[in-house]
Amino acid sequence: MDQQAASDQHRRPLEGLRVVEFTHMVMGPTCGLVLADLGAEVIKVEPIDGDRTRHLLGAGTGFFPLFNRGKKSIAIDLHSADGVAVARKLALSADVVAENFKPGTMVKYGLDYASLSRDNPRLIYVSCKGFLPGPYEHRTALDEVVQMMGGLAYMTGRPGDPLRAGSSVNDIMGGMFGAIGALGAIIQRGITGRGQEVQSALFENNVFLVGQHMLQYAISGRPAAPMPERISAWGVYDVFTVKDGEQIFLAAVSDPQWRTFCDVLGLGDLRDRPEYASNNDRVRARPILMPILRERLATRSASELATLFEQAGLPFAPIRKPEELYDDPHLQATGGLAEITLTDGERAGQVAQTTLLPFTMAGQRLGARAQPPTMGRDTEAVLAGLGYGAEDIATLRSGHAVA
């Protein structure tokens, strides 16, 4: 491979593409994050006092640095006429505009797709919403709202105890689907020369996630039970409490794996019993089989079982907490974490590790392209790129249209 070919191979695929995002919280910023890591110049438009996720506590502490790395920041007051004019000029310079505000919000400022596409028909516009257009579209949606109404909380918790999944799954995946839609629109624009609007929504994303359970009912006539009470598709597929109270997930999802499972654990008396012959036989026998397995494995240590299962190629998993993943040897060896400098709060200026997009291109992980921006860090440079002179920028700043 010659030097030019090697250089081209390691260029990120969206280099040269400009994305302007009017986003907040998780869903919209995730869309921009994906496009930024793929090489796009992503300019985040923040309110004049900054994105409020910069200062969230508790479960929201990591929102801003995770979902906004690799972006530029410009602070614009959309409540001022001068600020709106700046925002419109910026949006019209973009290949992609992304937003995740309530329906009608962008229309007020002339920043909606219909308004912008009249002057830039090549524009791709990604709206990340709570609901796609329909009876629910004006409801206020949160990840937890759609998990409750979309069946995911019911499936996650025990019967009578609906439980939100342990991550912002719909916000994150909704942003990802918005980015996927944008990529498709980019390809189509290369064919037709025209942009289009892409819409992604939390509720519809959640319905997609529970589609497997909906089809289970459509095909079998039996409603899906919540995951803690479900009829497993596999005979051995569960968390076991073992020596010293440790826990480990163990599985055998095929007949050959079942035989190996019995061999490595010294369960020869169970291996060839006819009532356990096939996976479906073992599923039907779970009320009898699982108590036997739990009793026999209770004296084995989790580390011993992990070693045996890894050597035999059987599925297993230690039960980990998120903070323990920083010490995971696989993540450390494969470059799955990247260092970023925090921008806000008491730890501003300190270095922390963050997760990367979970795929490789040309054999390489897509590292963090740039640090999370401080609020308004790139305002002057972005405005200069739009043709504003130093005096114009000073006037905008003095009138608090930008910061």
Active site residues: 171
Dihedral sign for Cα atoms in the order 358, 362, 367, 373: negative
- The three-state secondary structure class of 122 is coil
C-beta of residue 97 within 8 angstroms of C-beta of residue 185: no
Nearest to 74 by CA among 296, 362, 402, 303: 402
AA identity, residue 61 = T
Look up residue 199 and give its DSSP letter. Answer: E
Tell me how many degrees the CA angle 75-80-85 measures, rounded to the nearest 5. 75
Angle formed by the axes of helices 169-192 and 27-37, nearest 10°:
50
Q: What's the CA gap between 256 and 279, in Å, rounded?
A: 10
Dihedral sign for Cα atoms in the order 68, 72, 77, 81: negative
C-beta of residue 251 within 8 angstroms of C-beta of residue 316: yes
> Residue 349 burial by CB count (10 A; 0-12/13-18/19+): exposed, middle or buried?
exposed
The pairs formed by 147-156 with CB atoms below 8 angstroms and a separation of 24 or more are 147/206, 149/203, 150/203, 150/206, 150/207, 150/209, 150/210, 151/206, 151/207, 151/210, 151/213, 151/214, 152/206, 152/209, 152/210, 154/226, 155/210, 155/213, 155/224, 155/226, 155/227, 156/226, 156/227
- The three-state secondary structure class of 74 is strand
Q: Which two tokens stand for residue 165?
A: 């999944």
C-beta of residue 41 within 8 angstroms of C-beta of residue 18: yes
Look up residue 124 and give its DSSP letter. Answer: E
